[in-house]
């Protein structure tokens, strides 16, 4: 483990270090006064820094852990294979199980946004003995999205299919990352200077771009297969689940009642909260999201 340099001060009260695991080395921040451990998982193309305003509000109630997923941010980029298995959500969930147990956390809540939501789901399904609460933000299971794919979904979420192609998405993004992802000044205002600079470092690193795309390549193949196997086996999330989605994004438009999509995946009724914002809830509605997580934690028995 190597301690963070003095450049990173915006997670006040948090320590930061690289943590070497069996399959990857993760960049991770942690802090908090006690209570249940809480693992926060980011989405694409963000890093752990997307959570900074939420983490600051939760460190009085939880032991908060914010890693970069393998391939993302400052975490390592393991070599891939023909099946993209090193970037499967199962591999990423294994990282998280090892990260948390290595710190002595045997029961914890996990919250995941966007691509991190798929890792959180896989963690809850593959390691139910560890997860006592699951928070999903802005996602339905990959297999559910693909099973409902129509022209509207393909038009809105075309990047899933483009990112799964070889070589061309890397060339398109690396030609001008800010042009590809758009609105850098608006993102800086929304994210804050330090989080924005962390995001900039990530999207301008070709190795990180390739690894992030491997996440999507795994999504259409091995991740979907794992989810379909769960359905066939009748496997469900055993712990309480909270679903959060944004009224300003398209989850409600695409699925009508997103909580109903999740119902067959969960042994308990799905709790739901709708945020008046766009896709990046942790950046746009940090106080409300933190409050929702605190309230949800009361339902999560240790």
Nearest Cα neighbor of 70 from 52, 100, 90, 50 is: 90
Tell me the per-residue pLDDT of 269-300, one tens digit each, with 9 for 90 and over: 999 999 999 999 999 999 999 999 999 999 89
**pLDDT score for 5:** 45
Nearest Cα neighbor of 129 from 269, 262, 237 is: 237
**Ordered alpha helix ranges (H), the chain:** 52-58, 89-102, 115-126, 142-147, 151-156, 158-163, 168-175, 177-181, 184-191, 193-203, 206-218, 224-233, 251-255, 258-262, 281-284, 286-297
**pLDDT score for 86:** 98
Contact (Cβ atoms closer than 8 angstroms) between residue 114 and residue 137 = yes
Q: Would you say residue 6 has pLDDT above 70?
A: no
Bridge pairing between strands 15-20 and 2-3: antiparallel
Tell me the per-residue pLDDT of 131-184, one tens digit each, with 9 for 90 and over: 999 999 999 999 999 999 999 999 999 999 999 999 999 999 999 999 999 999
pLDDT confidence bin for 221, thresholds 50/70/90: very high
Tell me the per-residue pLDDT of 66-109, one tens digit each, with 9 for 90 and over: 999 999 999 999 999 999 999 999 999 999 999 999 999 999 99
Pick the catalytic residue from 42, 44, 68, 114: 114
Distances (CA, A) of 272 to 42, 75, 139: 19, 32, 12
Order of all β-strands in the sheet with 15-20? 2-3, 15-20, 25-31, 63-67, 37-41, 108-113, 131-137, 241-246, 271-275
Contact (Cβ atoms closer than 8 angstroms) between residue 20 and residue 41 = no
Stretch 44-66: mean pLDDT: 97
Q: Would you say residue 45 has pLDDT above 80?
A: yes
Domain 2-297: CATH class, spelled out = alpha beta
The pTM is what?
A: 0.96
**pLDDT score for 9:** 60
114 is catalytic: yes
Stretch 226-255: mean pLDDT: 97
95 is catalytic: no
Q: Would you say residue 1 has pLDDT above 60?
A: no
271 phi and psi angles, rounded to 5 deg: -80, 150
**pLDDT score for 176:** 98
**pLDDT score for 17:** 96
- Cα separation of 164 and 159, whole Å? 8
Contact (Cβ atoms closer than 8 angstroms) between residue 249 and residue 278 = yes
- Cα separation of 103 and 28, whole Å? 12
Bridge pairing between strands 63-67 and 2-3: unpaired
Pick the catalytic residue from 105, 127, 279, 299: 279
Tell me the per-residue pLDDT of 205-219, one tens digit each, with 9 for 90 and over: 999 999 999 999 999
**pLDDT score for 4:** 45
Mean pLDDT, rounded, of the chain: 95
Query: Domain segments of the chain: what residues?
Result: 2-297
């Amino acid at each position: 483990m190597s301690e963070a340099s003095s450049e990173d001060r915006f997670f006040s009260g948090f320590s930061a270090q690289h943590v070497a695991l069996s399959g990857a080395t993760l960049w991770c921040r942690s802090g908090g006064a006690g209570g249940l451990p809480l693992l926060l998982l980011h989405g694409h193309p963000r890093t752990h820094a997307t959570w900074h305003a939420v983490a600051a509000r939760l460190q009085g109630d939880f032991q908060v852990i914010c890693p970069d997923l393998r391939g993302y941010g400052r975490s390592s980029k393991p070599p891939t294979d023909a099946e993209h298995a090193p970037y499967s959500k199962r591999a990423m969930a294994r990282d998280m199980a090892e990260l948390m147990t290595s710190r002595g956390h045997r029961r914890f809540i996990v919250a995941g946004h966007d691509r991190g939501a798929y890792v959180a789901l896989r963690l809850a399904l593959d390691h139910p003995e560890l997860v006592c609460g699951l928070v999903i933000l802005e996602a339905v299971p990959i297999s559910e999205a693909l099973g409902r794919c129509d022209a509207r979904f393909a038009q809105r979420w075309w990047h899933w299919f483009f990112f799964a192609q070889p070589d061309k998405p890397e060339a398109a993004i690396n030609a001008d990352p800010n042009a590809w992802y758009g609105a850098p000044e608006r993102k800086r205002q929304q994210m804050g200077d330090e989080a924005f600079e962390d995001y900039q470092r990530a999207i301008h690193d070709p190795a990180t771009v390739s690894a992030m795309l491997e996440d999507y390549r795994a999504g259409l193949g091995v991740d979907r297969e794992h989810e379909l196997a769960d359905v066939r086996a009748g496997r469900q999330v055993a712990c309480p689940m909270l679903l959060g989605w944004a009224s300003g994004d398209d989850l409600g438009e695409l699925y009508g009642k997103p909580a109903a999509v999740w119902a067959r995946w969960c042994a308990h009724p799905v709790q739901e909260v709708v945020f008046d914002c766009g896709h990046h809830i942790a950046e746009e509605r940090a106080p409300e999201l933190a409050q929702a997580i605190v309230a949800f934690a009361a339902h999560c028995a240790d």
